[in-house]
Amino acid sequence: MSNIGSYEERIKDFSWKLAEEELEYKDGDVINIGWYCSDRNCIKGKGEKMALIWEGLGGVEKKYTFNDVRLASNTIGHHLRGLGIKNEDRVCLFMDKIPELYLSFLGVLKIGAIAQPLFSAFGDESLHVRLENAQTKAIITQRKHVSKVRRILEQMPYLEHIIIVDHDGKKPLKERETVFNLEEAEKIDEFEIFPTKAESPSLLHYTSGTTGQPKGVKHVHYSIISQYLTAKWVLDLQDDDIYWCTADPGWVTGTSYGIIGPWSQGITQCVLDTGFSAESWYKFIEKNKVSMWYSAPTAIRSLMKAGDDLIKQHDLSSLRHIASVGEPLNAEAVIWSEKVYGMPFYDTYWQTETGSMMLTNYPGMKIKPGSMGKPFPGIIAAVLDEKTFEPITEPNKPGLIGFKPGWPSMMRTYWGNEETYKKKFVNGWYLPGDKSTIDKDGYFWFVGRDDDVINTGGHLVSPFEVESALLEHEAVAESAVVAKPDEVNMEVVKAFVTLNPGFVADDDLELKIMNFIRKKLSPLAMPQEIEYMEKLPKTRSGKIMRRMLRAKEWGEEIGDTSTLDDE
């Protein structure tokens, strides 16, 4: 039985109170995401139901019931409390997609601390910038990643605890390091959860901007109201589903819909922690009888590239609903999925700052391949004129996407940066920074970013952050970073550099610079191409004209060059 009801029925007299009632929450009550995703399921009789099916390299598998999740998150929370971690302290989760990542997320929230999940491929500089901003008190990590923490430890007096979850005892621990082995720890059955309220902070996710450092997006426990209902209606999650969200919890999709959305409903989910290969993904779906699959356009395009014959070698008949997130899903991918899986990918649009889905292709709604769909019930959305910030009423005319503030999972601020947060709101609208059109039927169509942020494989990369890191390489005198079109990732990073005297522009140097960025920032931020230049295009006031470099890559008109310094 579907959760849906028609889109038209759902938007009539919609109220978020519906989600509050289903979650048995009343205004002013204690509301703790950690408790809702574990203890409440046990109280509701789902204690022995499978919560997590995890598979790692070599086919290693671990399974956890909701009661296991409850006990594990209690045990982790108890351990953190014993170290002196208090409510609103920031605890960084810096792990691969291992079970401890998912269980620690709930344990941190249960004690009222703020979870700070970070992508485990981040290099030491990316890690340092984000820990510094949050003044993080503890980090939970693995021995394969602890060397990154050690390299920057002297610069982080506020980081009191480095907790290693898989220490094998072979190498001695260093300063501030402790070991926590979940399987060996005494299980904590009775645990007093910190009484967080609706506006208590829950989560800090970091996102990239055009200029300046990454921004810490602060969410609160009340966000579960949006995440629960969007997961129920858009992902159409049902009690007997086996759900697979392919996103890493280092990114918002991996927490909103890889932990909170499914587990707040007591849904079984599976996680594959082996990297991408089309064959291993299809095997995983077949083996676990995945029925609802939430993935990203980059992965979908890679699956298209792997060919249709591979699909015929696997039984994917368990799939009944599939959806996409992270970047625009091209029409070809929707048409292809209908042909090969017998169903279209339902595209969804939202971002770190919104916390939950905003524009969606809603089950039961007509799909227009290439469209982001319509606003989720309760979301007021418009396309705004770029000068007046008033809604455009004319169909198919591009403008800025705007949302009326007030949905439960909206970010509450940028950590320590209220000024930038306030700039996101203009004329009573929240501006996510994307351009769109609306057709005569009310469907939104993505046009592009309103800034220079690079969306590579659904992950936002700040040109400023990459440029700053490039300047730390001894060979680089000046740098400019732009997006370059890419068949699979939509965009990739391209760098233009001028060299310091004594360095030779060749392939060997290009590789060295690329690896320097990969280690310092992350594989996502690493330029896929470096172009050497005698000088970078600049305005007369000395500002690098990224716009010109980007236009060259995309084959676009360069536009007004009257301010160009061509001396």
Residue 533 counted as domain residue: yes
Residue 421 counted as domain residue: yes
Sequence-distant (6+) residues with CB within 8 A of 275 are none
pLDDT number for residue 371: 95
Find where tokens 């400019």 sit: 480
pLDDT number for residue 211: 59
How distant is the alpha carbon of residue 554 from its chain centre? 26
Q: Which of 436, 464, 490 is the last residue of a domain?
A: 436
Domain span including residue 478: 454-554
Sign for the pseudo-dihedral over CA of 415, 418, 422, 424: negative
Are residues 465 and 431 part of one domain? no
What is the pairing mode between strands 444-449 and 434-438? antiparallel
- Burial grade of 567 (CB within 10 A; 0-12, 13-18, 19 or more): exposed
d(CA 334, CA 347): 9
pTM value is: 0.88
Residue 291 counted as domain residue: yes
Query: What's the pLDDT tens digit per position in 202-241?
Result: 999 999 765 567 899 999 999 999 999 999 999 999 999 9
Are residues 459 and 431 part of one domain? no
Residue 367 counted as domain residue: yes
For 136-174, the DSSP string reads --EEEE-TTTHHHHHHHGGG-TT--EEEESS--SSS---
- Burial grade of 534 (CB within 10 A; 0-12, 13-18, 19 or more): exposed
Are residues 460 and 415 part of one domain? no
d(CA 525, CA 523): 5
Sequence-distant (6+) residues with CB within 8 A of 506 are none
Are residues 325 and 218 part of one domain? yes
Residue 536 counted as domain residue: yes
Are residues 371 and 284 part of one domain? yes
Neighbours of 133 (CB within 10 A): 20
Helix residue spans in 116-257 (DSSP H):
124-134, 146-152, 224-233, 252-255
Instruction: Dig out the tokens for 545 from the structure.
Output: 């004209």
CB 539 within 8 A of CB 565: yes
Are residues 545 and 399 part of one domain? no
pLDDT number for residue 1: 52
The count of structural domains within the chain is: 2
- Burial grade of 232 (CB within 10 A; 0-12, 13-18, 19 or more): buried
Are residues 250 and 145 part of one domain? yes
The total number of residues written for the chain in this structure: 567
Residue 417 counted as domain residue: yes
Q: Look up the CATH number of the domain holding residue 234.
A: 3.40.50.12780
Are residues 378 and 295 part of one domain? yes
| HSE value, Cβ hemisphere, 13 Å, CA-based, for 554 | 18
pLDDT number for residue 541: 57
Are residues 254 and 118 part of one domain? yes
Instruction: Dig out the tokens for 45 from the structure.
Output: 């009789």
Residue 550 counted as domain residue: yes
Find where tokens 């007093």 sit: 192
Are residues 135 and 106 part of one domain? yes
Are residues 199 and 255 part of one domain? yes
CB 545 within 8 A of CB 539: yes
Are residues 274 and 328 part of one domain? yes
DSSP lists the bridge partners of residue 497 as 479, 532
CB 469 within 8 A of CB 517: yes
Instruction: Dig out the tokens for 51 from the structure.
Output: 């919560």
Walk along the chain (567 residues) and give the pLDDT tens digit of each residue. 566 678 888 888 899 999 999 999 999 999 999 999 999 999 999 999 999 999 999 999 999 999 999 999 999 999 999 999 999 999 999 999 999 999 999 999 999 999 999 999 999 999 999 999 999 999 999 999 999 999 999 999 999 999 999 999 889 999 999 999 999 999 999 999 999 999 999 999 999 765 567 899 999 999 999 999 999 999 999 999 999 999 999 999 999 999 999 999 999 999 999 989 999 999 999 999 999 999 998 899 899 989 999 999 999 999 999 999 988 888 889 999 999 999 999 999 999 999 999 999 999 899 999 999 999 999 999 999 999 999 999 999 999 999 999 999 999 999 999 999 999 999 999 999 999 999 999 999 988 777 777 888 878 887 878 888 898 899 998 889 999 999 888 899 999 999 988 999 999 999 999 999 999 899 989 999 999 999 888 766 566 787 789 888 888 776 655 445 554
d(CA 232, CA 2): 10
pLDDT number for residue 489: 86
d(CA 291, CA 318): 5
Q: Look up the CATH number of the domain holding residue 499.
A: 3.30.300.30
Residue 125 counted as domain residue: yes
